[in-house]
Structure 1
Amino acid sequence: MKNKVVFVTGGARGLGAGLAARVVSNGGKAFVVDLNAEAVFEQGELLGGDSIAGCQANVCKPADLELAMAECKERFGRIDVIVANAGILKMGSIEHMNPADFDAVMQVNVHGVFNTIRAGIPYLRETRGYLQIISSLAAAIHTPLMGHYAASKAAVEALADVARQELASDGIDVGCVHPTFTNTAMIQEVNAGVLWGGHKGAFGAVEPEQVIASMYRGIEKRQRKIIAPKTIAPLVLAPGLFHRVAEGLSRLQGSEKALKKFKADEQESVIRP
């Protein structure tokens, strides 16, 4: 990874920021883009030196990504790795969720990844590089209140599988990352712990460092499937076999109670003038 240039969307916080820091600490160069310009600046200040750069960009706007990647190449001379990490999470039942929330999740999580892939292909073709797309355990195990998020992450996995086949002849490898629930700010901000806080074992949340280490190792080895932690591999690789088991465990660990409370709160907010 020494001197390799890694372009990371959603790179100013959470998993993206942690990955950028690891790249730089191991002798690579990171270019981070994020919707939050101040956070991009703070990330650059935190890591310092000539091995980190970035800019504000909205992954929902193809032109933003094209300009950002051009700036990355101008700064570092090449792009070896692109990590499509930007994503958002919202919670809500299918019955009561705001359609705008559904659209927002799809725009960032699906269109954003599509736009990132499209903008990045010419640069990765030059370097016979590696594309890493961040999906989720939610692509395989579909939990209540996560209809939009689960659908978006399943779509992202499909995009990765198609891109892998389409880009193989250009020497571009494509990896898809499936983290379990991770204790990042994004999870905390939507109070997702109300649904998963009591989960243990394969469904227990992990710390960001564990997922970041798997992402980094996936880049080093140009892996096609990165699962973090490895204990959830059967759930990701053969999800249909585990859906009923997963639903049963989820009920035992309190998700049914949490779901009833969440839906009651939703209903009250709909009725309240």
Structure 2
Amino acid sequence: MRSRSPLADHTVVVTGAARGVGAALAHEIARRGARMALLGHEKASLKAVAESLPGPALAIEVDITDPIALAAAARTVRTGLGRPSAVVANAGIAEGAPFLSTDPAAWRRVIDVNLTGSAHTARAFLPDLFDTAGYFLQIASLASIGAVPLMSSYCASKAGAEAFAHALRAEVAHRGVAVGIAYLNWTDTDMIRDADQFAVLRELRARMPRPARQVYPVETVAARLVRGLEHRRTAVYVPAWLRLTQPVRAALPPVVLRVSRRALPQLEAVRACEYTGPLGAGGQADHAASTRER
């Protein structure tokens, strides 16, 4: 028999839980006996995920770039499920194109969601994690380690989220709170499936080394993340070989530069570098919600 999970009978918060990695994480964590708080856009989808879980769950529609709304969400979680013992800052969006072709507001929105939204999430729930000696898991990316062209906002936001998590870890360790960073490669979500519809991003992935271009099932990714969550890991790599990029990360920019000098002129010649706009249903939902709020 499987031993009892450390997450059993504890409250866990996941942002960006309406679909993709967030929804898969919610299922994996709930199966281990945790009470789930699902945060994000798309209220109907959040509710559907919550209702499909085997245990207690709350679906809370909230924009993670709004600190006042997040503080209210934290109060709702505290009242409805108890103080969280773990928080996963998973919500994220992306767009693709040469930097000068991107919409400035959309470019800034990626930073706001992926970096500032993660910081707002930590700010809202850290008081609870202090009380529970809890764990904060920041979902990062291979893009945190090695930036690539045509995704400048996403790479900048994920590198920033990694740096934020490192700084936060040093600040809160003496309070008994652990902070982890999860480095993910390409995962089979609607964001990545949408990206593959655009020649510029499809070619970007195709020109990566064979292991780096592989797309991993979301259930596989979620299962590995939950094991990291259970053991309060400082770093979680999905797939495991991504840890090998850490010692050589300083060597990655020159490699990317050489490949880009050959590949980008070819893509530009066939006008394949079109602006993608927000990728995936999650990105489009965020765009719709943020546009309404302006």
Give me the TM-score of the superposition, normalised by structure 1.
0.89
* Counterpart contact for 2:11–2:83, Cα < 8 Å: yes
Ranked by relative contact order (alpha carbons within 8 Å, sequence separation 6 or more), the top structure is 2
In structure 2, distance between residues paired with 1:37 and 1:186: 19
Relative to structure 1, the CA distance from residue 259 to residue 25 in structure 2 (aligned partners, 3 Å threshold; closer, same or farther) is farther
Match for residue 94 of structure 1 among 99, 103, 109: 99
* Counterpart contact for 1:195–1:255, Cα < 8 Å: no
Counterpart of 2:14 in 1: which secondary structure? Answer: strand
Deviation readout 1:96-154 (Å, 9 max, x if unpaired): 21111211101111110110011111000010000000111001111111111000000
Aligned sequence identity (%): 29
Asked if 1:243 is matched to 2:253, the reply is yes
* Counterpart contact for 1:144–1:259, Cα < 8 Å: no
Letter matched to residue 189 of structure 2: T
In structure 2, distance between residues paired with 1:260 and 1:143: 20
Superposed counterparts of 1:126-137, under 5 Å: 126-137=131-142
Q: CA deviation at 1:208?
A: 1.4
Relative to structure 1, the CA distance from residue 237 to residue 81 in structure 2 (aligned partners, 3 Å threshold; closer, same or farther) is farther
Q: Give the structure 2 partner of residue 162 of structure 1.
A: 167
* Counterpart contact for 1:195–1:258, Cα < 8 Å: no
Letter matched to residue 245 of structure 2: L
Counterpart of 1:30 in 2: which secondary structure? Answer: strand
Relative to structure 1, the CA distance from residue 224 to residue 138 in structure 2 (aligned partners, 3 Å threshold; closer, same or farther) is same
Deviation readout 1:77-102 (Å, 9 max, x if unpaired): 22100000101011011122111121
Q: Give the structure 1 partner of residue 216 of structure 2.
A: 206
Superposed counterparts of 1:188-199, under 5 Å: 188-191=193-196, 192-197=201-206, 199=208
Counterpart of 2:101 in 1: which secondary structure? Answer: coil
| Alignment root-mean-square deviation, CA | 2.1
Superposed counterparts of 1:46-195, under 5 Å: 46-47=52-53, 49-191=54-196, 192-195=201-204
Superposed counterparts of 1:202-241, under 5 Å: 202-241=212-251
* Counterpart contact for 2:98–2:273, Cα < 8 Å: no
* Unaligned ranges ≥5, structure 2: 1-6, 276-294
Letter matched to residue 243 of structure 1: P
Residue range with higher mean Cα deviation, 99-108 or 164-173: 99-108
Letter matched to residue 128 of structure 2: Y
Relative to structure 1, the CA distance from residue 259 to residue 79 in structure 2 (aligned partners, 3 Å threshold; closer, same or farther) is farther
* Unaligned ranges ≥5, structure 1: 267-273
Counterpart of 1:206 in 2: which secondary structure? Answer: coil
In structure 1, distance between residues paired with 2:9 and 2:268: 48
Counterpart of 1:119 in 2: which secondary structure? Answer: helix
Relative to structure 1, the CA distance from residue 40 to residue 246 in structure 2 (aligned partners, 3 Å threshold; closer, same or farther) is same
Relative to structure 1, the CA distance from residue 195 to residue 2 in structure 2 (aligned partners, 3 Å threshold; closer, same or farther) is same
Moved over 4 A (4+): 246-252, 254-264
Instruction: Tell me the matched-pair count.
Output: 264
Q: Give the structure 2 partner of residue 20 of structure 1.
A: 26
Q: CA deviation at 1:64?
A: 1.5
* Counterpart contact for 1:137–1:236, Cα < 8 Å: no
Give me the TM-score of the superposition, normalised by structure 2.
0.83
In structure 2, distance between residues paired with 1:126 and 1:261: 57
* Counterpart contact for 1:176–1:225, Cα < 8 Å: yes
Q: CA deviation at 1:203?
A: 3.5
